[in-house]
Structure 1
Amino acid sequence: MSGDHIRNTCAMWTSPRCGAETRSGTACRAPALHGKARCRMHGGARRSGAPKGNQNARTHGAFTRDSAAERRQDREVLDDALKLLGELSLIAE
């Protein structure tokens, strides 16, 4: 009798699929978790991903606006100094 049972799998096959790309380059065929765009294996699991207000990228401060502005200003000063040295070397010749 167990071989005669037909499973109703329509809901599973019509559910949204995971949007992740597999190692072989094809799309993941697993169903996405409710309210998420990924399956449980590709980041849809509860408490997965970065925490809210993630500050991990700023642990050393290299990517803050202040340090980027400081690097830009340093580059401008160096460019001006190189230009001045080039002008001085032309005068000395």
Structure 2
Amino acid sequence: MNDGDNPMCRAHAAPRCAATSKRTGQPCKGPAVKGWRVCRFHGAGGGHRAGADHPSYRHGMRAREWIEARREINDLVREAREIERLIS
């Protein structure tokens, strides 16, 4: 049997997961997902998209863009108050 016929040969030859065990300190030894340094158990390809595509998205008022906009508005208000205090 040729090694190219067996699909497990590619799995055995794959790069190994870079995660280590907290308990033993030993490496994971699982095959890393293509394009990632870790296996599927240690977070490769996990997580949701940010923004409206996230399942917990409600109204967007806590989105990064809105938080940054509020921060800029608050900075402008602080500067205006400081100017007003200096003029008075």
Q: TM-score, normalised by structure 2?
A: 0.48
Give the greater-gyration-radius structure (CA): 1
